[in-house]
Amino acid sequence: MEALSQTATVPRSRREFMANMILGVGTTLGLGSLAFRFLEYLYPVVLPIKLVEIPAGNVNEIPPNGVRLVHLPEGPVMLEKTDNEVRALSAICTHLGCIIAWHPKAKEFICPCHGGRYDFNGNVVFGPPPRPLEKIQVKLRDGQVFVLMQSIKEEKV
């Protein structure tokens, strides 16, 4: 310990100081960039968002002024039929991602996880969800419902 403190107090030459500094900075940069590459390795390849038309069943399968939950590989969707339109809402709760359920008596979507509630239009009526349910674009062709959703053609990388 004594020897260590003695060497620490010996004044260093400028050359020695520069050499140590270059060595220190070089090692830090080298190891740092390697660590960054390792982090990059862990970061998943995320494909750009690509919306595709997904068939979601026949329009007659949706009860009038009611709701039908369809499980698509791209995600669960709530299809709704009003007097003059068919529309779709994402069935994923905007709070923390659980799947909501339609309660016809209460006429509300209720999340089983943290108790968030939404009305028929997807607006929050109670609980912690921060925003309304996500609206999904719908297309109708020959009585068939198509929803525009993000493609899930994503490989394990």
Partner 1 sequence: MNRATRWVEERIPVDPESLRKPLREPLPVHMKTWIFCLGGTPAILFCVLVATGILLTFYYVPSPTLAYASVSNITFKVRMGWLVRGIHRGASQLMIVAVLLHMIRVFFTRAYRKPRELNWVLGVALFMITLTFAFTGYSLVYDQLSYWATIVGTNMIAVLPVIGKPLLYMLRGGPNVNPNTLSRFYDFHIVVLPAMMALFIVAHLGLVRLHSVAPLPDDPRRETYPFFPDHVLREAIVGLLLLIGLLNYVMFFPPTIGALATPGITPGHIRPEWYFFPTYRWLKMTSLAVGIGGSIVYVTGLFLWPFIDAMLERIAPRRNLWLIIGTAFYMMTIVFMVWEAIVG
67, 111, 136, 145: residue in contact with partner 1 (rule CB under 8 A): 111
Is residue 122 involved in binding partner 1 (CB under 8 A)?
Answer: no
Give DSSP secondary structure letters for 42-103.
HSPP-PPP-EEEEEEEEGGGSPTT-EEEEEETTEEEEEEE-SS-EEEEE-B-TTT-PBPEEE
76, 82, 106, 135: residue in contact with partner 1 (rule CB under 8 A): 76
3-state secondary structure of 12: coil
Is residue 128 involved in binding partner 1 (CB under 8 A)?
Answer: yes
The residue assigned the tokens 């016809």 is 104
The residue assigned the tokens 């349910």 is 133
The minimum distance between CB 95 and partner 1, in angstroms, equals: 6
Is residue 157 involved in binding partner 1 (CB under 8 A)?
Answer: yes
Alpha carbon distance 134, 74 (integer Å): 14
In the chain, the amino acid numbered 148 is L
Cβ proximity to partner 1: between 131 and 139 the closer is 131
Is residue 104 involved in binding partner 1 (CB under 8 A)?
Answer: no
Cβ proximity to partner 1: between 30 and 112 the closer is 112
The residue assigned the tokens 């899930």 is 152
Is residue 57 involved in binding partner 1 (CB under 8 A)?
Answer: no
Binding site for partner 1 (CB under 8 A): 42-44, 46, 71, 76, 95-101, 111-115, 127-130, 154, 156-157
